[in-house]
Structure 1
Amino acid sequence: MCGSVAGAQSEAPAPPPVQGDIVIPDNVKIFGNDDPNMRRATAVVNGDVITGTDVDQRLALLVAANQGKIDEEEMKRLRLQILRNLIDETLQIQEAKAADVAVSDAEVDQSYARVASQNFGQNTSAMDAYLRRVGSSPESLKRQIRGELSWQRLLQRKVQPFINVSDDEVNDVLARLKAAKGTEEYRLGEIYLSAAPDARPQVFQNATKIMQQLRQGGSFVAYARQYSEASTASVGGDLGWVRLAQLPPELQTAARDLQTGQLVGPIEVPGGFDILYLIDKRQVLTADPRDAVLALKQISLPFPKGLSEADASKRAEAFSAAIKKAKGCGDVDKVAQGIGAQVVTNDQVKARDLPAQIQQSVLKLSPGETLPPFGSLEDGLRILMLCGRDDAQASDGPSFEQLQSQLEDDRVNKRAQTYLRDLRRDAVIEYN
């Protein structure tokens, strides 16, 4: 059977690959230098110049997010990717300007201040200094913010008004949501890279290298903002809470087996490739135990300087035994005072805000019970005692308006990808 099939195939040679009207033969011969890394990272996009400095300053942000752990080959690839991103950003700003969509300097400065506060925990002056220290600049980040705001505002004017989600569609999804009560839903981060049919191997390679950088400790939020071509790029790739049924089939399978904090990808999807990151997981319309508000007492006992590991272990055993003699939270202060320990009380601790390694253990405690002691030679010993717990109430799920907005956003995202492809197709780009 194999011989006859082989014979039949030899009589009818396969036609050359065809992508629409583009025909690429198998025996391709390249005339000239085909190494894209030989190009300089500068370009003129419809008359607007992108300089090598623009690329270097964006690259510096990624290098800083990865604590400098990027090899020379990866740096070349990142430089080319950043140039492509800057070209897209330039096209978006130009299109917004052509449509009289304005973004004021004050709005950019306000968003910049919010980024400083939320992502850096510092004021704008401190972030200015940080950006310059790592080789970037406030101007570079502000230009990225301007691009994101311009594109969002342009979509609001030229795409969103033509997106229609009917009441029946929303009610249908709400009904399915209620039917799925108790099943799991996922808060996912995504990095989406579009790929034309003839560019899929190269884009897959790029996505694979991004995965490697993320697994080596790269910031998912930073990479999503820099590389993702989905509308979620401006929020660090955060898709929000979704159920598997809302995802394309290719992503459903990949997301189902993820544990919180895990990555998967690159996953081939229509139009390109996806990288997924599981931020969190919960059950649909069911109260999450991690949203319980706990009343805790922390009992602390310092170690004397120069204490050995062996002696520290003995003290930990004695400390634990002493605290276990306390008859609940009302008695622990007196017991702690007797052994020279300090007690701190906090009755507004969300379970999900505790370190992952003790979160589930605390949720299994009853009032008056304690966790085993933890700490270090430098910080001393600590014991947590549960004094009370207010469990979270079950959610009724998204409202009609929230779900309608989510469905509209999904459709806007798809239209936005088509819009950007059209801008790229019509752009006049000169490389220097």
Structure 2
Amino acid sequence: MDARSLSRLPILLTLFMGSIAITQQPAHARGIQTIDRIVAVVNESVITRHELDEMLKVAVRQIQKQGMQMPAYPELEKQILERLIVNRIQLQLAKETGLTVSDAELDQTVRRIAQENKMSLQEFYNALAQDGISFKKFRDEIRDEITLVRLKEREVNNRINVTESEVDNFLHTQANTSADDLEYRIAHILVDVPEQADAATIEVMRRRAEEALALLREGTEFAQVASEFSDADDAAQGGLLDWRPASQLTQRFAEYVTPMEPGHISPIIQSPNGFHILKLVDRRNQGEAVTMVEQTHARHILVKISELISESDARRRIADLKERLEHGARFEELAKLHSEDGSASSGGDLGWLSPGDTVPEFEHAMNALADGEISAPVQSPFGWHLIQVIERRSQDVTKERRRQTARQAIRARKADTAFQDWLQRLRDQAYVEYRLEEG
């Protein structure tokens, strides 16, 4: 999830659903009072039965809302617990490396969520209370979601490099591909194979994938099979992915999906992550992109957060630089001396920026500035910024946008693979003890 989708956090999917009776579940899943206990140990932290039950309630409501058949409870419970474990490991890393979300940022995000749900803050608080969600719990959930997004940006996305030659090759390939004007909606099932699994384990996972494929060929609904067999995070939602062009699919997936007709299901596809089954739900022509955009010429100073520089240290440094600017220091000179961005050598000059070229936090702050104005300190996944707008213009960016779209597609493809690899390494390095079967 990126910062643009904060208003669509999973917890909001159940905001107005009211109390839903959960049938055919064990007592603790139906909300009957039980003594809390530990279901997993994650490094020096624990996950409790109560935490697991709360997440299970959200997952069950999502499944019911979508009209899907409920998966076997033990399988759903296992999937949700694994998601909690992986999230906990990431949040622990964020805390250890000083990655935090300030109360001011949290307040701003909550206000934006309320506005996008067409409510005042008080109406939003009341709606949460009516659904049995405390405001503190809601804020904690939002804080964790923002933290996970920023951690992914810092540890994975910001380290992805795309060269101009890669963009040239991408555009050349697209020019010779008749399918480049199409977008695809696919659903997928992933049977995960642990890293360094032996041949016997791989064979067991292959047979599990074959069992899923056999059910699909017998006519079982894809969403039902996905919720029961898939190890992917979106299993409970039937494995359905957003619309995307073939360029944003892995090359292996694109080879199968592009010649398929809507409704068709692929054979089993093996990848380093495990065994996949794909269904082409639909395809459509991409809309024409707007070519005239309002551009902003801006410069900035960046102080990054790292293992050596905590979030509070970075914020203090950027505040000191802001004070120096207010006392007459030249922006370009401070950028050359103190900015940790690649633009430092040119006085922080970022050139002409189109909408979407920067992360939302940076863009929102930049758009609020008048020409020549310098922002207050702004936090983004990259660190803390000071931004100055130089001038604005309306520009035809057809060629540039085509290259930017190609660059984003390449980056998304690389980042997806890199994130899964990083997450697996993080998971392998953690101490995890399962206690789900105890008691």
Q: TM-score, normalised by structure 2?
A: 0.49
Larger Rg: 1
